[in-house]
């Protein structure tokens, strides 16, 4: 009896592996960055075209190409003044961060301290810094000190407010459970309140680091002999408009770079927070 030879069954194609959320997130992020880059390029191109079309003199409105040429030609000058401004920003921000975290911890922990100090924290933001800066020159003189104080006064407020909100936003059920298990007040603060407040702290820090650049420029405008704010102040009366714009470009790049550095540090220190945010975003989509 002849046996019929059967063909071997064709292998079942394996289902395509699902694309992970990380890949989708990266694609969306790249699209967002590409769109932002196109908008910036369009604005620069329109600016260049308007200057060329209407023949606007360089002392009134320099073209982006003229600003780029000035950045290259005077790079040593820009670097020297940028280093001074960066020192003021980092030192003032460091003072604001230390002061803001300590104040936030005391305000969130002691109601009496909150009633005594919190109104002064809020009132400190109602007085224009441009009014206080000249007085600082009288009290502490020239140099880095008045600029550091100006930066700290501007930057500490968002750190305090956001950190206080984070320390107070802890889950009450979690606190009650910790206390039921015999945790002390210090253990509740360290193990529950601080982890809850860290995302809030970083939100305040990202705002504060950009405000720090503004504070440094204000301090240099009032009284300084170096720094990018000083450079813009002395360049405008001399009609060195391209140099003034170049200083503004460097200040903007400095602010954006510091913001991105803080955002990167947040991702490194709080990976769980960003994982939860990404998961919630995927569930909503």
Q: What is the pLDDT of residues 67-87, one digit of tens each?
A: 999 999 999 999 999 999 999
Tell me which of 5-9, 51-55, 144-148 is least confident: 5-9
What is the distance of C-alpha 28 from the center of its chain? 21
Tell me what pLDDT residue 2 has.
40
- Residue ranges per structural domain of the chain: 30-58, 62-277
Q: Give the pLDDT band of residue 15 (cuts 50, 70, 90).
A: very low
Q: How far apart are CA 200 and CA 164, in angstroms?
A: 8
What lies within 8 Å, CB to CB, of 47 at 6+ separation is 63, 64
Q: Give the pLDDT band of residue 270 (cuts 50, 70, 90).
A: confident
**Mean pLDDT value of segment 96-114:** 92
Long-range contacts from 224-231, C-beta under 8 angstroms, 24+ separation: 224/142, 224/147, 225/142, 226/80, 226/81, 226/84, 227/81, 227/84, 227/85, 227/88, 227/147, 228/78, 228/81, 228/82, 228/84, 228/85, 229/85, 230/81, 231/77, 231/78, 231/81
Tell me what pLDDT residue 140 has.
86
Tell me what pLDDT residue 77 has.
96
Tell me which of 25-34, 153-162, 231-240, 262-271 is least confident: 25-34
- Tokens, residue 238: 């001399």
**Mean pLDDT value of segment 238-258:** 95
Average pLDDT, the chain: 85
Q: How far apart are CA 80 and CA 83, in angstroms?
A: 5
Architecture of domain 62-277: Orthogonal Bundle (1.10)
**Mean pLDDT value of segment 56-61:** 91
Tell me what pLDDT residue 65 has.
93
Tell me what pLDDT residue 147 has.
93
Tell me what pLDDT residue 194 has.
86
Q: How far apart are CA 112 and CA 178, in angstroms?
A: 24
Q: Give the pLDDT band of residue 99 (cuts 50, 70, 90).
A: very high
Tell me what pLDDT residue 177 has.
82
Q: Please report, rounded to a whole number, the percentage of residues in the chain having pLDDT higher than 70.
A: 86
**Mean pLDDT value of segment 223-227:** 87
113 vs 27 pLDDT, higher one = 113
């Amino acid at each position: 009896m002849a046996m019929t030879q059967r063909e071997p069954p064709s292998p079942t194609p394996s289902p395509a592996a699902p694309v992970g959320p990380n890949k989708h997130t990266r694609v969306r992020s790249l699209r967002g960055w590409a769109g932002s880059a196109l908008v910036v390029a369009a604005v620069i191109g329109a600016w260049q075209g308007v200057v060329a079309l209407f023949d606007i003199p360089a002392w009134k409105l320099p073209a982006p190409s003229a600003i780029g040429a000035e950045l290259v030609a005077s790079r040593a000058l820009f670097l020297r003044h940028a280093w001074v401004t960066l020192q003021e920003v980092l030192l003032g921000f460091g003072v604001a961060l230390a002061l803001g975290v300590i104040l936030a911890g005391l305000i969130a922990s002691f109601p009496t301290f909150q009633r005594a100090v919190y109104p002064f924290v809020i009132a400190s933001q109602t007085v224009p810094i441009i009014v206080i800066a000249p007085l600082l020159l009288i009290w502490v003189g020239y140099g880095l000190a008045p600029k550091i104080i100006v930066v700290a006064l501007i930057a500490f407020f968002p750190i305090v407010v956001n950190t206080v909100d984070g320390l107070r936003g802890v889950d009450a059920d979690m606190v009650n459970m910790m206390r039921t298990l015999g945790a002390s007040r210090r253990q509740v603060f360290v193990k529950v309140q601080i982890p809850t407040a860290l995302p809030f702290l970083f939100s305040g820090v990202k705002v504060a680091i950009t405000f720090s650049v503004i504070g440094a420029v204000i301090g240099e405008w009032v009284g300084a002999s170096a720094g990018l704010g000083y450079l813009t102040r002395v360049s405008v009366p001399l009609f060195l408009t391209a140099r003034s714009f170049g200083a503004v470009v460097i200040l903007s790049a400095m602010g954006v770079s510091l913001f991105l550095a803080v955002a990167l540090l947040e991702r490194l220190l709080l990976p769980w927070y960003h994982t939860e945010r990404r998961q919630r975003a995927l569930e909503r989509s």
